[in-house]
Structure 1
Amino acid sequence: MHRITVIGGGFAGRPRPPPRSASLARGTPIAAEAGAKVTVHEAHHTLGGQARTADGPYRTNDGPQALYNGGPHWAWLRRRDLIGPLAPIPPLEASRLRLHHKGALRRTPPFAMLKLLRRRVGPAPVDTDFLTWATGIAGEEGARAAAHCCAVALFHHDPGSLSAAFVQERLRRAAKLPPEAHYPRGGWSGVVDRMAALAWNLGVRMETLSRVDTLPTDTPVIVATSLDAARRLLDDPALTWPSGRTTLVDLAVRTRRGDAFAVSDLDAPGWVEQGGLGVSPRRRGTAQVRTLAPAGEQLIQGQVPIAPHESKADGATRAEQLLDLGFPGWRERLTWRREAVANGRTGAVDLPGSTWRDRPAVDRGDGVYLAGDQVASPRLLSEVSFNSALTAVSLALGRRELDKRA
């Protein structure tokens, strides 16, 4: 029987979704289902990585909110009944999406931006930045609006400076109709708990509060941590890749009619949206699902990418400007607030001339493999964790590949 050690109990290490950690999601159950004996070491007292949901009355997520049904992990989670109750974006909510453009809220994007979504627009080049390429098609105004629109899936302060091919894929996913985004009711913790139960039933040994400082040498090892942690553990300075830096703002307000569902900033990168879609409705079969906020309140969660020279407060100020536009009177209705900075924890970004193939390789040699958001695997956000975990397990089991639908 194969024996595999997994370091990190996040989405890739254990049974994870957007978008952004590695171990628990795909790799652990797949390895166990293939007959391997798996041990997971997690330094935190709970599993989940960035897919954790805070305890208490305000159930905010440490990482992404949405699960995209166009990703490779969707069918795998669905087949094992691990997704649980979901809240898709209904037409009524989608109609309350507002776009901040030229200083005002609008219901529709600028026409020039829509040019970039036409089917006849071919694949964007890898070696050209998005702003330069898109300006040739839609003009500078449309190109900048499209770049800023992608901030919801990039968490980067200057999306226009990234590879045109990289940004184009995310623009098409973010603008797709009907929307791919679905929201686990009650937050990500329910998904994580179901994945942990699957791993447990498959005989996986999961050790929390178990920090690993030295790699074991007797079994294949999958390092499913952040790239920074992997670099220190493996003492490998080559394990670097650019990411984003983002101010995260979570707040709760008393519910009021007329609020926007979400506000996307097209004048600069930024996004705020209601988290209330995760609240369980009072109908048969869903009463056991925990809600995101107390009755009469709703969560609003925002992310504003910030440049290296900017502070958390700079991002929070811009988030408040979007809140003023989309959620009038939010200050008077405020009941709770939390702010944080996500630095290098929001997935990989590809600069002009680079693709996902240029990121740190999964196979590090000598039976050591990487899984995570900044590893050489395709797709976006946590889908990268999923694919890299699948590849890592395949290699650790001595196989060239595993069926993604299995």
Structure 2
Amino acid sequence: MHRITIIGGGFAGLTAAITAAEAGAKVTVYEAHHTLGGRARTAEGPYRTNEGPHALYKGGPHWTWLQQRDLIGELAPLPPLEAARLRLRHKGALRRTPPFAMLKLLRRTPEQAPVDKDFRTWATEIAGEEGANAAAYYSAVALFHHDPGSLSAAFVQERLRRATKLPPEAHYPRGGWATVIDRMAARAWNLGVRVETLARVDTIPDDHGPVIIATSLDAARNLLKDSSLTWTSGRTALIDLALRALPRSRLLLHSRLRSSGGTPMIAGAPTGDAFVVSDLDASGWIERFTAQDRTLAPAGEQLIQGQIPIAPHESRADGIARAEELLDLAFTDWRDRVTFRREALANGRTGAVDLPGTSWRDRPRVDRGDDVYLAGDQVAAPGVLSEVSFNSALEAVSLAFKIRARAGLDLKHA
């Protein structure tokens, strides 16, 4: 029986642990915190918030893997009536439709954007400056970067297509991501995986067997004392809000005032709380998660989560101020309805972004030599968002034990 050590009990670590155990390995997972999940943890209590907005993209390989093992659980359905309340801020006003020029970049064509050119330059040649900027900022929902237009055109194009696909690829586990993590942890335990929490690993012993480091790239760099373990990521201001739902009488009055000219009419503004607000003037995304999943907040309250990417010279306060501008446009009297509020800054914790001339193949490699392997969202593996963690975890296990054929772990890297 093979023996393997996994450092980190987040999504990547649990994926690696399950895969290795299914292949017959004896697995030990060390997790520094008292709970598993990493950035996929969901807060306990009445407001079930994740560390920033989380979605599970159906088109990726991890979807099939999770589904085959019954690890996804119940999904929150996309409410048909709320789906029409996607709002886009463009030129300072809320609108229901994107600029026409942006639609040119959403066509399903075989044309592949170049790796060595930035997205803004490439997209401007197709859709003009306005369309290119709008498309770049819309893609920020899957990028968490303040300037998507400056990134590799191929990198941004893939995420733009996945984020705008119909029917939507993004799905949400009912009750938050913790429900998926709990199912993964249960499967790991049932397979005999030994899990030790509150167990921080500071050094790797000389006589170790295969070790998979499934932590942030910063933590892996410190653990391995390897200064080459760096890659570009983003800085994102995060905001969680719970608002009292607008009474129906207020909604009706608000609607009548707007239709009679009693209040200023914002272009395309909703009469109730928006479902999603995407900023096309800058990077930013706000979503009302309880529109799909009422279990995330107490009855009569709406849970809203937003991510506003910020530049290196900007502060968290700058990002929160932009989030409040979007809230002012899309959520009537929201300041008077707040029952819960939390803010945070995610610095280098939102996955890898590829600059022009680079792709996922150029990121820190999974195999570090001497039976040490990396898994996580900033290493050399394909995919979008959590798919990178998943693919790198499978690659790490397959390299550690050379069990591709036996465990069915072949990854078809595009």
Q: TM-score range by the shorter chain?
A: over 0.9
The answer for the alignment partner of 1:10 in structure 2 is: 10
Instruction: Say whether 1:356 aligns with 2:360.
Output: yes
Residue in structure 2 matching 1:263, options 246, 270, 277: 277
Question: Is the partner of 2:329 in helix, strand or coil?
Answer: helix
8 Å Cα contact 2:242/2:338 also seen in 1: yes
Q: Compute the displacement of 1:310 (Å).
A: 0.3
CA distance, structure 1, for counterparts of residue 399 and residue 291 of structure 2: 39
CA distance, structure 2, for counterparts of residue 151 and residue 51 of structure 1: 19
8 Å Cα contact 2:113/2:122 also seen in 1: yes
The amino acid of 2:284's aligned partner reads G
Instruction: Say whether 1:374 aligns with 2:378.
Output: yes
CA distance, structure 1, for counterparts of residue 409 and residue 371 of structure 2: 22
Identity of aligned residues (%): 76
After TM superposition, the structure 1 = structure 2 runs for residues 270-285 of structure 1, keeping only pairs within 5 Å, are: 270-277=284-291, 279-280=293-294
CA distance, structure 2, for counterparts of residue 140 and residue 186 of structure 1: 41
The amino acid of 1:11's aligned partner reads F
Residue in structure 1 matching 2:337, options 333, 336, 343: 333
Instruction: Say whether 1:208 aligns with 2:222.
Output: no
Cα deviation 1:99-119 (Å, max 9, x = unaligned): 101111111111100001122
Residue in structure 2 matching 1:71, options 33, 45, 60: 60
After TM superposition, the structure 1 = structure 2 runs for residues 219-234 of structure 1, keeping only pairs within 5 Å, are: 219-234=209-224
8 Å Cα contact 1:187/1:278 also seen in 2: no
TM-score (norm 1): 0.93
* Structure 2 unaligned regions, length at least 5: 252-271
The answer for the alignment partner of 2:169 in structure 1 is: 180
CA distance, structure 2, for counterparts of residue 89 and residue 236 of structure 1: 44
Question: Is the partner of 1:160 in helix, strand or coil?
Answer: helix
Q: Compute the displacement of 1:398 (Å).
A: 1.9
The amino acid of 1:228's aligned partner reads D
Cα deviation 1:155-187 (Å, max 9, x = unaligned): 001100000000000000011011111111111
The answer for the alignment partner of 1:315 in structure 2 is: 319
Q: Compute the displacement of 1:90 (Å).
A: 3.2
Q: Compute the displacement of 1:30 (Å).
A: 0.7
After TM superposition, the structure 1 = structure 2 runs for residues 125-274 of structure 1, keeping only pairs within 5 Å, are: 125-216=114-205, 217-256=207-246, 258-274=272-288
Q: Compute the displacement of 1:50 (Å).
A: 0.5
8 Å Cα contact 1:51/1:64 also seen in 2: no
Cα deviation 1:295-344 (Å, max 9, x = unaligned): 11010000000000100000000000111111111111110100000000
The amino acid of 2:307's aligned partner reads Q
Q: Compute the displacement of 1:222 (Å).
A: 0.0
The answer for the alignment partner of 1:284 in structure 2 is: none
Larger mean CA deviation between 368-377 and 270-279 belongs to: 270-279
8 Å Cα contact 1:185/1:277 also seen in 2: no
8 Å Cα contact 1:186/1:278 also seen in 2: no
Question: 1:108–1:223: structure 2 CA closer, same or farther, 3 Å change rule?
Answer: same
Cα deviation 1:74-107 (Å, max 9, x = unaligned): 0111111111111132332221100101111111
Q: Compute the displacement of 1:64 (Å).
A: 3.8
The amino acid of 1:386's aligned partner reads F
8 Å Cα contact 1:89/1:181 also seen in 2: no
Residue in structure 2 matching 1:96, options 85, 89, 92: 85
Question: Is the partner of 2:172 in helix, strand or coil?
Answer: strand
* Structure 1 unaligned regions, length at least 5: 15-25, 281-290
The amino acid of 2:287's aligned partner reads E
Question: 1:120–1:182: structure 2 CA closer, same or farther, 3 Å change rule?
Answer: closer
Question: 1:278–1:60: structure 2 CA closer, same or farther, 3 Å change rule?
Answer: farther
8 Å Cα contact 1:2/1:37 also seen in 2: yes
Residue in structure 2 matching 1:41, options 27, 30, 48: 30
Cα deviation 1:177-208 (Å, max 9, x = unaligned): 11111111111111111110000000000000
TM-score (norm 2): 0.91
Question: Is the partner of 1:172 in helix, strand or coil?
Answer: helix
Cα deviation 1:199-257 (Å, max 9, x = unaligned): 00000000000000111332100000000000000000000000010000001001126
CA distance, structure 1, for counterparts of residue 203 and residue 157 of structure 2: 40
Q: CA RMSD in A?
A: 1.4
The answer for the alignment partner of 2:391 in structure 1 is: 387
CA distance, structure 2, for counterparts of residue 58 and residue 233 of structure 1: 34
8 Å Cα contact 2:239/2:307 also seen in 1: yes
8 Å Cα contact 2:212/2:375 also seen in 1: yes
8 Å Cα contact 1:75/1:405 also seen in 2: no
8 Å Cα contact 1:254/1:335 also seen in 2: yes
Structure (1 or 2) with the larger CA radius of gyration: 2
8 Å Cα contact 1:274/1:298 also seen in 2: yes
Question: Is the partner of 2:186 in helix, strand or coil?
Answer: helix
8 Å Cα contact 1:279/1:292 also seen in 2: yes
Instruction: Say whether 1:305 aligns with 2:295.
Output: no
Question: Is the partner of 1:391 in helix, strand or coil?
Answer: helix
Q: Compute the displacement of 1:63 (Å).
A: 4.3
